[in-house]
Structure 1
Amino acid sequence: MSVHETMNYETKQAIKKALLIQMEEVGFQRVTVKNLALTANINRGTFYIHYQDKFEVMEDLQQELLSGLESYVKKVQPLEAFHTLQNGQLYQPFVVVIHFIKEHATAFRVILGEQGSPDFSKRMKKVFSDNLLEKLSLIQAEVLDPVFRQYFQAFLTSAILGVIQEWLESDDKDFNVEELATIHFRILRFFRHLTSL
């Protein structure tokens, strides 16, 4: 990466960080380019070199998070995960997904929150469903049934996202990655025990 490319990258990252700060303070609707530039410590002219408006900054930030998330979620193999769970161990590819979310916890928390973007949770759910449902359909033919698939997708993705959001909004900031992975697997184990009763 050249010096110019590095400077461009760093400026864009500063603008995206400024967006998160402003969203926490005033909510996305009230964010202005003027305040983004002030918070990022740049002038408005520099802002417009990189982005047309705050909506483009938001899209860039969301796309960066979703691309990163997908690169890890697609490595999750549900059958391997269930076998690992049965052996009482944590499934490492899922732990890595949670590590990524923790690394970008502020961004995920703010964008998923009331001051953020209502569309983002749908896009996150799509990442999980696109990468997990096809693999699950190879294990269980029932997932191929369109009606079942529709509702199972809603259940699965809402459950995963719901636990992640609860963790991000938790007052216990020391809640670590392994603990969250354990919670997900304890919930799965709980449902498995219910079905065997």
Structure 2
Amino acid sequence: MSVHEKMNFETKQAIKNAFIQQVEEVGFERVTVKNLALVAEINRGTFYLHYSDKYDVMEDLQQELLKELERYVKHVQPLDAFQTLKMGQLYQPFIKVITCIKEHAPAFRMLLGEQGSPSFTQKVKMIFGSHILDRLSLIRKEAQDPEFQQYLQAFIASAILGVIQEWLDKGNENLTVEEMVALHFRLIRFLGNVVGTI
């Protein structure tokens, strides 16, 4: 990366960080380019070299996070995860997924919250649902039924995302990444045990 590219990258990150901060403080509607430039410690001309408006910043931030998240979610293999769990160990690919979310916690918290974007929430659900569902349909024939598949994908994605949102809303200080991963599998095991007793 050249010096110029590095400066461009750092400026864009400063704008995105300012955007997250401003949305959390005043709400998306009241975010202005003037305040973004002020918080990012740049002038408005520099802002316009990188983005056309606050909607452009929002779009870039979403794309960056979705790309990053998918990079880790695509390595999650449900069968391997359950085998690892049975051995009493934590599943490393899922640890990487949760670590990614923790590293970008302010951005995920903002985008998944009331001030965020419903389309972002849907795209995150799609990433979790489609990647995990693809692997499940190879393991269980039932998961190949198209109608069942549609609802199973919604169920898986909403369950994972619901737990993550709860963690983000609590400030994620109360649980480490490893504890968060363990909690996901505790919930799955609990549901499996409950179903087994019916």
Fold shared, TM-score > 0.5 on shorter chain: yes
Question: CA offsets per residue over residues 60-112 of structure 1, 9 Å max, x none?
Answer: 11111111111110011110001111222211110111111111111111111
Structure 2 counterpart of 1:75, which letter? H
Structure 1 distance, partners of 2:126, 2:93, is: 18
| TM, length-normalised to structure 2 | 0.96
Structure 2 distance, partners of 1:134, 1:103, is: 27
Residue in structure 1 matched with residue 118 of structure 2 by the alignment? 118
Identity %: 63
| TM, length-normalised to structure 1 | 0.96
Structure 2 distance, partners of 1:114, 1:105, is: 15
Q: 4+ residue runs of structure 1 moved beyond 2 angstroms?
A: none
Shift of 1:131: 1.3
1:1-197 to 2 correspondence within 5 Å?
A: 1-171=1-171, 173-197=173-197
Q: Do the aligned partners of 2:130 and 2:153 also contact (CA within 8 Å) in 1? A: no
Shift of 1:172: 5.8
Structure 1 counterpart of 2:27, which letter? G
Question: CA offsets per residue over residues 155-184 of structure 1, 9 Å max, x none?
Answer: 110000000000011156142001110110
Aligned length: 197
Structure 1 distance, partners of 2:179, 2:70, is: 22
Question: CA offsets per residue over residues 120-163 of structure 1, 9 Å max, x none?
Answer: 11110011122111111100111111111111111110000000
Structure 2 counterpart of 1:190, which letter? F
Gaps of 5+ in 1: none
Structure 1 counterpart of 2:20, which letter? L
Q: Relative to 1, partners in 2 of residues 1:7 and 1:171: Cα closer, same or farther, differing over 3 Å?
A: closer
Structure 1 counterpart of 2:133, which letter? L
